[in-house]
Chain A
């Protein structure tokens, strides 16, 4: 197991982690505002196809990312309209959004199958990533650095800004936030739209960066992992970054187990790849159980998560 192998593995893991980090950051803000949007997978798919379509039409992947964000945000606002304005059930509406997004992206994607798009240039001068250490830091797609930056932005926003405080207040106790005079619904709309935009960019990472093409259901369930990730990180942005890398390691282990590449780990060779694939979900349940044990009633999870806002009028 040489340095080159470790560095190559880390580069792959960061690549795998990025889309779930992007989508997870969005969902984190949504859930902090007290809304549970289970439609992440659907929004990612919509982002993947809108991002791809815009890139095909404009020839510019950066505009594609903007398109993906817009597509994701629009589909999230559709969800928002139902759950926030019409007070419909969040769990069921979120699932409907995933089914909707899967179908709509397949339909829009019909005319984009087999198309080729221009790709992002390298983020830094290629000279920087000539040696392995340079590659470790400078060889990624611009979206990877964007995702990293967003970790700090989201953490700073939630913890240090007034708006972040209001958002958390809305998620923790919507009625008192309302009585102080904040617009609970307005805040939640913004949060939901942000979540959709981030999920959309996460989806575009598939159609513009990993494999620059369109294929039906190409996010292959990563939206659900992103949902697990938010819980795994117990609703904290910093832990979300660590969690995404940890999930990335597990997904990397799964692929290596399939390729018979885990011979360097004692006993790991005989563990079926499915074990590694199931681990993110199992670990999330364990974390959930630990959180619940520590603070029965749960101070980690936003108190209003998933509940409709029903002010007494």
Chain B
């Protein structure tokens, strides 16, 4: 039997919605099998990672706080990906954004209040954008591949972080532990009473709708979509490719910087060497799982946040390492990427006795 792919004239709408859900479900199913194979209670692990955070109400605030940066960064990245601009350095832009916010906070000294907070957040957006502007210059002026340059700049950002929190930004009263001084109460974002849910979560809830409106109603949104879908046609249509690169990277970087500033002023209140926790990379999964659609990104951000929080639950209950949640996150991304084929193609099975040579795809982890 052979499998034949027929290109669909238009991407399947149904498949666009069905495949992400199927990817999550398939991940859960495969997770049970893989974990059982490794001698761990797979059912328990999958329940704790995917369901406990949703069923235990005291976990909701953790999910909300984790989801906020993922959604915000994911939104920015989805714009770039739509325009075929590959910013994979959001992690670095996130870190630089937070550091810029911290710089403003340190400069403000003991002064607090809404203005200082607003200034910190603005600094975060500008900082994240500026960090992405370097790859933008390199791309538009010299044609430097932005995948590689944004990735490299992420690792430069981590060193900037290490230098600043261990040096100029170090808390003078922190007994030399490399971390910034914790923000005072009036320098942090307001919280929902009796929770750790900060204003940044509200921002993450509103922004997707704003982006949706922007993408579907504005010339800019049209430009992004056209440039991404057909660069040559776009040039004929009068859209400037370089301008799109700039916009895509600045928005991606600015949003990552915003997320960093919100995480700093809302959730963490201090920056230490553990600040970069991979949100910038996970947000790439969020963008794809959300099918690069703002509302999809919102939902996907919550799903990924659930796996993070669930990963911690599983750490206490089945004693699997924290990084294990990554197995599930990666599997979701694998499946969603692979399922693109169902969106773009119609799959036909053609009976044939001659078995085509197909490379053996290993079952993940089995036998390793």
Binding site for B on A (CB under 8 A): 36, 38, 46, 50, 71, 74, 77-78, 80-82, 84-89, 91-93, 95-100, 102-104, 106-110, 185-186, 189, 216-217, 221, 224, 227-228, 231, 272, 274-275, 277-278, 281-282, 284-285, 288-289, 292-293, 296-298, 301, 306
Contact = CB atoms under 8 A, between A and B. Distances in A.
- For the complex of A and B, the 8 pairs showing the least CB-CB separation, nearest first, are A100-B330, A103-B326, A88-B337, A103-B327, A81-B361, A278-B159, A106-B321, A96-B333
Interface in B125-174: 138, 142-145, 147-149, 151-153, 155-156, 159-160, 162-163, 166-167
A36 B147 contact: yes
Contacts of B328: 103
Contacts of A99: 278, 281-282, 285, 326-327, 329-330, 333
A278 B156 contact: yes
A38 B330 CA distance: 13
A248 to B, nearest CB: 16
Contact of A274 (B88, B153, B159, B340): B159
A80 B359 contact: yes
Contacts of A185: 359
Contacts of A97: 330
Contact of A272 (B138, B151, B167, B321): B167
Contact of B152 (A78, A96, A281): A281
B327 A104 contact: yes
10 contacts: A74-B362, A78-B361, A92-B288, A100-B334, A107-B38, A189-B359, A272-B163, A274-B163, A285-B152, A288-B145
Contact of A216 (B144, B278, B321): B321
Nearest to A278: B159
Given A278-B156, A297-B143, A88 B338 contact: yes
Contacts of B147: 36, 91, 306
Contacts of B138: 285, 288-289, 292
Interface of B: 38, 40, 86, 88, 138, 142-145, 147-149, 151-153, 155-156, 159-160, 162-163, 166-167, 278, 281-282, 284-285, 288, 320-331, 333-334, 337-338, 340-341, 358-362, 364-365, 368
Contacts of B162: 274, 277
A103 B362 CA distance: 17
A305 B17 CA distance: 30
A192 to B, nearest CB: 10
B58 to A, nearest CB: 26
Contacts of B40: 107
Given A86-B341, A100-B330, A293-B142, A281 B321 contact: no
A285 B361 contact: no
B291 to A, nearest CB: 13
B206 to A, nearest CB: 27
A92 B333 contact: yes
B330 A103 contact: yes
A289 B319 CA distance: 47
Contacts of B166: 274
A281 B156 contact: yes
Contact of A296 (B143, B278, B331): B143
A214 B145 CA distance: 36
Contacts of B159: 274-275, 277-278
Given A277-B159, A285-B152, A91 B86 contact: yes
Contact of A81 (B148, B278, B331, B359): B359
A107 B320 contact: yes
A109 B322 CA distance: 13
Nearest to B6: A313
A88 B321 contact: no
A216 B315 CA distance: 15
A129 B108 CA distance: 60
Given A100-B330, A104-B365, A285-B152, A95 B88 contact: yes
Nearest to A313: B5
Contacts of A85: 358-359, 361
B152 A228 contact: yes
A113 to B, nearest CB: 10
B198 to A, nearest CB: 27
Contact of A100 (B142, B278, B331): B331
Given A87-B341, A91-B86, A281-B152, A107 B330 contact: no
A275 B88 CA distance: 22
A96 B285 contact: yes
A283 B355 CA distance: 49
A265 B261 CA distance: 39
A104 B285 CA distance: 18
A87 to B, nearest CB: 6
Given A85-B361, A103-B329, A106-B322, 7 more contacts: A88-B334, A91-B86, A100-B327, A100-B330, A274-B159, A274-B166, A281-B153
B152, B288, B326 — which one has the most chain A CB atoms within 10 A of its CB?
Answer: B152
A298 B143 contact: yes
